[in-house]
Amino acid sequence: MALSTFSFPSQMPSLLCPHWLGGADLHSHQHQYRLLKTRKRPCVCASLSEHGEYHSQRPPTPLLDTINYPIHMKNLSIKELKQLGDELRSDIIFHVSKTGGHLGSSLGVVELTVALHHVFNAPQDKILWDVGHQSYPHKILTGRRDKMPTLRQTNGLSGFTKRSESEYDSFGAGHSSTSISAALGMAVGRDLKGRKNNVIAVIGDGAMTAGQAYEAMNNAGYLDSDMIVILNDNKQVSLPTANLDGPIPPVGALSSALSRLQSSRPLRELREVAKGVTKQIGGSMHKLAAKVDEYARGMISGSGSTLFEELGLYYIGPVDGHNMDDLVTILKEVKSTKTTGPVFIHVVTEKGRGYPYAERAADKYHGVAKFDPSTGKQFKSRSKTQSYTNYFAEALISEAEVDKDIVAIHAAMGGGTGLNYFLRRFPTRCFDVGIAEQHAVTFAAGLACEGLKPFCAIYSSFLQRAYDQVVHDVDLQKLPVRFAMDRAGLVGADGPTHCGSFDVTYMACLPNMVVMTPSDEAELFHMVATAAAIDDRPSCFRYPRGNGVGVPLPAGNKGVPLEVGKGRILIEGERVALLGYGAAVQGCLAAASLLEEHSLKVTVADARFCKPLDHALIRSLARSHELLITVEEGSIGGFGSHVAQFMALDGLLDGKLKWRPLVLPDRYIDHGSPADQLAEAGLTPSHVAATVFNMLGQAREALEIMS
């Protein structure tokens, strides 16, 4: 009888109920559950209700309140550690709901963090978190719980690990796949200094797609220094874990190897037999038996674990990453074993575990804005304009509609670069290579050789990794690869690790590169069209994080190619010229209106191109004004330097012109709100206006503006 098949998950009978009422809506059944739930308010404990809703008030956390540092965790039993894990989970959810941040990844490693701190003795034992975005539980357990409300804000906690923040953060992170390299360095340093601490690196399966992880593991296997690498495998292997319609099946061959690893049957039987045989043969045969065992393991676990074994690491796993018992046991065993060499522990976790909305979401709540814990709804601020990322995606789609050769490449950042929209529209023309920027650039170069028009959408700071590929593979050979560098300039809450301050400098010094930047979203559309049209040399354009300014978009979302090497004048004035590059032009316009209040009408120009420079524009500005100020949100060596070089060579500096460059200062700007960061950098409109007054000798007005 079919109805007897009740080995279904427990939700089944409940789903049946409303249908007895004949066509009841699923919503009403959820409503029933809400009623049930309020009646069922349990005793005070930090556990979740089974119906998928979550607490609306922060539940009490008695055990977590007693833990300020890992040393307070040493005497806890496994049961108490589990309770601590649950309390930690709810703590993280409530903190992130107020500040925004990376939620899913932190929830997935709660048990792992608790186990690590229970077994090992930070800070003598070094624990390194790859990327660092999953370090929220680590921060809470290492004395920063009271500062969690300041997460990702000005002068508050960093969203990633940071050495200057705490001695428990062993290595700063933000970009991925650096942890094993750093851990190996720390292990070797420890050996050279004769110390005895443990070194543990925690890396995710997404970060494993980067080459540096293999470079490090290869070296670790060779050096054979004692260290532990923990692979936090949540089966995502693609960040941020989804396209618009749902999770993407994992990227690349690595994931199938990992999944084979996880799913291969432990052929215990075979090994038991082998062990039995060994016992019979006796102790003297143990070497032979060990060899048999090793081969058997190779055959049994498939080609997955032998990948790590071949690199020289001892593979242990897979291990259930949410089972506190297992984790503590394994870590204790490995810690107590002397002379292990490099050990690789494969831990399987679930991203977003413990928060039902995150578990169900396609992107597992990887990065969230402020949200309401009981409903999981994020508070997305309403804005009249969309982000530059979205505009870029739309521009690229409209270009690709008419030109069949346009393809897009990104490095595991489909959501962050907006190329998920492109993927949905052109599924065969969008390539996600995993966290492998170097490969992405050379891959694009290969595509360009075949006559395609590749658009490489890589964040400005992530492209740093691929610089040699840009120089050697693209620029040297003059291949027409287009680079769309998002997150240029200061980026706000992510901080200096994600800040794109150097791209003008490192791109504009390359001989064949066309370097341009839009000052608003309409310009962005035109520049995408321009880049699509430049087919004989590489080109790049940078755009900032944030939303557009609200200018009308070109018709049909299709830009018109600009004349290469021509800027434009926005406001005609006299005496003073502000030459802005990119988003800084908006700051110049604001400064111009500030100056207007003091009855000074200045010229504002948008350079558009850093390479090739608009010589005519610069000459005319230099000849008709007494003061020229260049403004850009980039480091020294960028636009301002190129203008200076040109003017010097052209003799424009030999006269009465006063020239000043405004660039990002020679230090890293900490995370904070964009406005705070700009103020810290000295590039706000007030700063620009004050500079003008100072140059004109009107110090009093300068002070007025600044206060």
Partner 1 sequence: MSFGVVPRSGNQTLHLWPNHVPATKIGGGGGGSWRVAQRRREGSWSAGLSSSSFRTRAAVEERGFVAAKGSFYELLGISEGGSYDEIKKAYKQLARKYHPDVSPPDRTEEYTRRFIEVQEAYETLSDPGRRALYDRDLARGLHLAFSTRKRFDEELEERSGWRNHWQDQIAELKRRSMNKDAGENLSWGARMRRQRAESSVE
Considering only the stretches 20-28, 385-393, 446-454, 475-483, report the one whose residues sit in contact with partner 1 under the rule CB under 8 A.
20-28
The terminus-to-terminus CA distance of the chain in angstroms comes to 82
Name the one residue in this structure whose structure tokens are 């000798």.
697
Structure tokens at 364: 């597992």
Mention every residue, 6+ apart, whose C-beta is less than 8 A from residue 234.
105, 108, 204, 205, 348, 349, 350, 351, 364
User: CA 199, CA 227: separation in Å to the nearest integer?
Assistant: 5
Question: Site for partner 1 (CB under 8 A): which residue of 302, 341, 637, 661?
Answer: 341
Comparing CB distances to partner 1, the nearer of 40 and 360 is 360
Under the criterion CB under 8 A, does residue 428 sit at the interface with partner 1?
no
Q: What minimum distance in Å lies between the beta carbon of 390 and partner 1?
A: 21
Under the criterion CB under 8 A, does residue 6 sit at the interface with partner 1?
yes
User: CA 112, CA 234: separation in Å to the nearest integer?
Assistant: 13
Under the criterion CB under 8 A, does residue 360 sit at the interface with partner 1?
yes
Q: What number of residues does the chain have?
A: 707
The rounded Cα 383 to chain-centroid distance in angstroms is: 24
- Kindly tell me the sign of the dihedral angle through the C-alpha atoms of 411, 415, 418, 422: positive
Q: Is the peptide bond before 318 cis (omega within 30 degrees of 0)?
A: yes
Site for partner 1 in 456-515 (CB under 8 A): none
Mention every residue, 6+ apart, whose C-beta is less than 8 A from residue 81.
73, 114, 115, 118, 324, 328
Under the criterion CB under 8 A, does residue 290 sit at the interface with partner 1?
yes
Q: What minimum distance in Å lies between the beta carbon of 289 and partner 1?
A: 10
Under the criterion CB under 8 A, does residue 624 sit at the interface with partner 1?
no
Structure tokens at 245: 């319609």
User: CA 691, CA 138: separation in Å to the nearest integer?
Assistant: 44
Site for partner 1 in 632-691 (CB under 8 A): none
Considering only the stretches 314-322, 598-606, 635-643, 697-705, report the one whose residues sit in contact with partner 1 under the rule CB under 8 A.
314-322
Q: What minimum distance in Å lies between the beta carbon of 465 and partner 1?
A: 28
Structure tokens at 534: 């430049």
Question: Site for partner 1 (CB under 8 A): which residue of 202, 207, 316, 607?
Answer: 316
Of the listed 53, 111, 394, 437, which one is catalytic? 437
Under the criterion CB under 8 A, does residue 50 sit at the interface with partner 1?
no
Question: Site for partner 1 (CB under 8 A): which residue of 76, 123, 215, 223?
Answer: 223
Comparing CB distances to partner 1, the nearer of 143 and 312 is 312
Under the criterion CB under 8 A, does residue 270 sit at the interface with partner 1?
no
Strand pairing category for 430-432 and 406-410: parallel
Q: What minimum distance in Å lies between the beta carbon of 364 and partner 1?
A: 9
Q: What minimum distance in Å lies between the beta carbon of 530 and partner 1?
A: 34
Is 465 in the active site?
A: yes
Comparing CB distances to partner 1, the nearer of 1 and 44 is 1
Mention every residue, 6+ apart, whose C-beta is less than 8 A from residue 461.
175, 487, 497, 498, 499, 500, 502
Question: Site for partner 1 (CB under 8 A): which residue of 254, 292, 362, 534?
Answer: 362
Q: What minimum distance in Å lies between the beta carbon of 272 and partner 1?
A: 9
Question: Site for partner 1 (CB under 8 A): which residue of 268, 380, 472, 623?
Answer: 268
Under the criterion CB under 8 A, does residue 4 sit at the interface with partner 1?
yes
Is 437 in the active site?
A: yes
Q: What minimum distance in Å lies between the beta carbon of 184 and partner 1?
A: 10
Question: Site for partner 1 (CB under 8 A): which residue of 80, 165, 191, 676?
Answer: 191
Considering only the stretches 316-324, 407-415, 501-509, 597-605, report the one whose residues sit in contact with partner 1 under the rule CB under 8 A.
316-324
Question: Site for partner 1 (CB under 8 A): which residue of 326, 405, 670, 704?
Answer: 326
User: CA 579, CA 210: separation in Å to the nearest integer?
Assistant: 40
Cβ neighbours of 630 (radius 10 Å): 28
Under the criterion CB under 8 A, does residue 254 sit at the interface with partner 1?
no
Considering only the stretches 14-22, 551-559, 566-574, 644-652, report the one whose residues sit in contact with partner 1 under the rule CB under 8 A.
14-22
Number of H helices, E strands in the chain: 27, 17
641: β partners: none
Under the criterion CB under 8 A, does residue 9 sit at the interface with partner 1?
yes
Is 353 in the active site?
A: no
Cβ neighbours of 435 (radius 10 Å): 29
Name the one residue in this structure whose structure tokens are 């936090």.
232
Residue of 398, 400, 419 whose CA lies nearest to 410: 419
Question: Site for partner 1 (CB under 8 A): which residue of 69, 222, 379, 668?
Answer: 222
Under the criterion CB under 8 A, does residue 265 sit at the interface with partner 1?
yes
Considering only the stretches 175-183, 238-246, 412-420, 643-651, report the one whose residues sit in contact with partner 1 under the rule CB under 8 A.
238-246
- Kindly tell me the sign of the dihedral angle through the C-alpha atoms of 464, 470, 476, 478: negative
Helix (H, G, I), strand (E, B) or coil at 74: coil
Comparing CB distances to partner 1, the nearer of 290 and 449 is 290
Helix (H, G, I), strand (E, B) or coil at 520: coil
Under the criterion CB under 8 A, does residue 5 sit at the interface with partner 1?
yes
109: β partners: none
Residue 272: φ, ψ to 5° = -60, -45
User: CA 525, CA 519: separation in Å to the nearest integer?
Assistant: 11
Under the criterion CB under 8 A, does residue 281 sit at the interface with partner 1?
no
User: CA 506, CA 499: separation in Å to the nearest integer?
Assistant: 14
Strand pairing category for 482-488 and 453-457: parallel
From residue 17, alpha-carbon distances to 22, 303, 639 in Å are 9, 47, 67
Q: What minimum distance in Å lies between the beta carbon of 327 and partner 1?
A: 11
233: β partners: 348
Residue 685: φ, ψ to 5° = -55, -40
Question: Site for partner 1 (CB under 8 A): which residue of 35, 44, 146, 246?
Answer: 246
Under the criterion CB under 8 A, does residue 309 sit at the interface with partner 1?
no
Comparing CB distances to partner 1, the nearer of 237 and 490 is 237
Strand pairing category for 199-204 and 314-320: unpaired
User: CA 19, CA 403: separation in Å to the nearest integer?
Assistant: 51
Of the listed 152, 351, 429, 545, which one is catalytic? 351
Q: At what angle are helices 685-695 and 584-597 packed, to 10 degrees?
A: 60
Considering only the stretches 81-89, 185-193, 478-486, 647-655, report the one whose residues sit in contact with partner 1 under the rule CB under 8 A.
185-193
Q: How many residues bind partner 1 (CB under 8 A)?
A: 60
Question: Site for partner 1 (CB under 8 A): which residue of 136, 308, 315, 422?
Answer: 315
Under the criterion CB under 8 A, does residue 224 sit at the interface with partner 1?
yes
Of the listed 139, 465, 487, 545, which one is catalytic? 465
| DSSP for residue 631 | E
Structure tokens at 514: 């066309």
User: CA 270, CA 371: separation in Å to the nearest integer?
Assistant: 51
Question: Site for partner 1 (CB under 8 A): which residue of 88, 151, 173, 242?
Answer: 242
Q: What minimum distance in Å lies between the beta carbon of 195 and partner 1?
A: 9
Comparing CB distances to partner 1, the nearer of 412 and 702 is 412
Question: Site for partner 1 (CB under 8 A): which residue of 248, 570, 571, 695?
Answer: 248
Q: What minimum distance in Å lies between the beta carbon of 274 and partner 1?
A: 10
Under the criterion CB under 8 A, does residue 555 sit at the interface with partner 1?
no
Under the criterion CB under 8 A, does residue 546 sit at the interface with partner 1?
no
At residue 661, what is the residue type?
A: P
Which residues are the active-site residues? 351, 437, 465
Site for partner 1, rule CB under 8 A: 1-9, 11-12, 15, 19-20, 22-23, 26, 188, 191-192, 194, 222-226, 242, 245-249, 263, 265-266, 268, 271, 286, 290, 293, 314-320, 323, 326, 330, 333-334, 337-341, 343, 360, 362
